[in-house]
């Protein structure tokens, strides 16, 4: 298989898991905003000034966004079907976020990202980030 063929294969695979429409872009942006709010609040709570230390905040945020992207794109959560009702939207995003937090913790356990894997942080992340995403996805299923 040529590299070009592999790229087309990945593209078509993602294409089946993501509906290419504006509402899905808005859905993804809302997800990013929810996770960013969660991380921002956490950083401020721990005495970090996001304006003065944007690199640290980005380092904390990145593992969560990577985990969420892998799970939501891979799981087909950017499709109309994934948000066809509030119940459906919530039933999909909650387990997706739990897996995304696990991925984020695994990434944080490496030297690439600041912090470390910690069960207490994983629990707080799951609950706080999960509530923000749950609310957003429920609203998005009605609005989008």
54-74 helix and 3-17 helix, angle to the nearest 10 degrees: 80
Is residue 39 predicted with pLDDT exceeding 70?
yes
CB atoms within 10 A of CB 21: 13
**Count of domains observed in the chain:** 1
d(CA 80, CA 91) in angstroms, rounded, equals 14
**135 and 141 in contact (C-beta within 8 Å)?**
no
Q: Give 6-49 as a DSSP string.
A: HHHHHHHHHHHHB--SHHHHHHHHHHHHHHHHHHHHHHHHTT--
Is residue 102 predicted with pLDDT exceeding 50?
yes
Q: What is the pLDDT of residue 10?
A: 45
Report the predicted TM-score, pTM, of the whole model to 2 decimal places: 0.88
Q: What is the pLDDT of residue 14?
A: 56
CB atoms within 10 A of CB 108: 23
Which structural domain range is residue 86 located in?
3-143
Q: What is the pLDDT of residue 115?
A: 85
The residue among 23, 63, 27 whose CA lies nearest residue 137 is 27
Average pLDDT over the chain, rounded to an integer: 92
16 band by pLDDT with thresholds 50, 70 and 90 = confident
CB atoms within 10 A of CB 89: 24
């Amino acid at each position: 298989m040529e590299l070009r063929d592999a790229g087309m294969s990945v593209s078509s695979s993602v294409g089946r898991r993501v509906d290419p429409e504006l509402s899905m872009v808005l859905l993804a942006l809302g997800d990013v905003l929810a996770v960013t709010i969660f991380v921002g609040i956490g950083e401020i709570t721990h005495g970090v000034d996001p304006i003065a230390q944007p690199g640290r905040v980005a380092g904390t945020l990145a593992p969560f966004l990577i985990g969420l992207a892998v799970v939501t794109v891979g799981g087909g959560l950017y499709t109309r079907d994934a948000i066809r009702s509030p119940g459906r939207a919530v039933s999909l995003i909650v387990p997706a976020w739990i897996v995304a937090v696990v991925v984020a913790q695994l990434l944080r356990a490496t030297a690439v990202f600041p912090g470390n894997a910690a069960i207490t942080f994983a629990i707080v992340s799951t609950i706080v980030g999960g509530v923000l995403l749950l609310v957003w996805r429920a609203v998005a299923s009605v609005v989008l």
